[in-house]
Amino acid sequence: MEKSKYPLYFSFPAIIVFLVFFITPTVIGFYYSFTDWNINASSIKFNGLDNYKELFNEPRLKQAFTNTLIFAAAVTVLQNVAGLGLALILNEKLKLRNLLRMIFFMPYVIAPLVIGYIFRAIYHPEHGIVNKFFDTIGLDFMMQDWLNDPKFALFTIIITDIWRVAGFSMVVYLAGLQFIPKDLIESASIDGAHYWTRFKHVVFPLLAPAFTVNILLAMIGSMKVFEIVMVLTEGGPGYTTEVFYTYIRNTFSSGEMGYATAINMLLFALVTLVGVPVLMAMKKREVEM
């Protein structure tokens, strides 16, 4: 049967929207990153690589870079571990399965800003329920100033974000699990394979497309983290939880537009450099399956 073909011009509206709202601002931004654009100046001049030279000498950016990578690595791994775990549990025949699926997915629907405000109250050193809980069960040595102590602040933000996004990974893994033919799992069971063996040799390989989507989205999303950090700590105390976007935001608001755009370009390059190889490797794994 011959496949139906559609005329090329059907794609023109989408291409135009993409060009106008995505490609053009990116190209313009790329140009501005090589200028001295500053709200205190009346004109904009091309200044070559000056912005890039300056940003590589900026200690705050190094800290933001390190924090972003730690955040991205931790969230990507733990979000997927939590999401996969939840998906495997909620793929079983449980009485409250649908309700539980909804409960675990719900945090993803709530705006990160709202979650930030809620968790600020939860982590409050004196009145927050986390410390109250530890106090009640007699583990008062566990009571900490979760958001204001530099030892814990980044870790606390990571945990909060994992709670927020694990439900999304769960949904993608659940969708992947639905596509695994039941007869393959049943055959493995008849052959005597127990749960772990079935997971390792049947389920895990066939979930490859879900892993690709989840890992890539988690990685890109977490490298662009902003709202949750902004609400919980504003990058503080000091600069201990500063990430790329909180640094960019501060630079933009101080009026150094060209310099801030250069940092944005650096983040764009970083996401591309990390994202493309990961995508290729994951896709290759899918093909090899």
Is 29 among the residues that bind another protein (CB under 8 A)?
no
* Distance of closest approach, residue 93 Cβ to another protein, in angstroms: 47
Nearer to another protein, 4 or 42 (CB): 42
Site for another protein in 130-159 (CB under 8 A): 145, 147-150
Contact pick of 42, 92, 95, 194 for another protein (by CB under 8 A)? 42
Is 197 among the residues that bind another protein (CB under 8 A)?
no
Nearer to another protein, 168 or 259 (CB): 259
Number of residues that bind another protein (CB under 8 A): 25
* Distance of closest approach, residue 178 Cβ to another protein, in angstroms: 46
* Distance of closest approach, residue 117 Cβ to another protein, in angstroms: 13
Report how far residue 207's alpha carbon sits from residue 6's, in angstroms, rounded to the nearest whole number. 32
Contact pick of 155, 227, 250, 286 for another protein (by CB under 8 A)? 250
Contact pick of 125, 205, 221, 275 for another protein (by CB under 8 A)? 125
Is 38 among the residues that bind another protein (CB under 8 A)?
yes
Report how far residue 33's alpha carbon sits from residue 82's, in angstroms, rounded to the nearest whole number. 39
Is 39 among the residues that bind another protein (CB under 8 A)?
yes
* Contact window for another protein (CB under 8 A) among 85-93, 129-137, 160-168, 248-256: 248-256
Is 255 among the residues that bind another protein (CB under 8 A)?
yes
Is 43 among the residues that bind another protein (CB under 8 A)?
no
Residues that bind another protein (CB under 8 A): 38-42, 125-126, 145, 147-150, 235-240, 250, 252-257
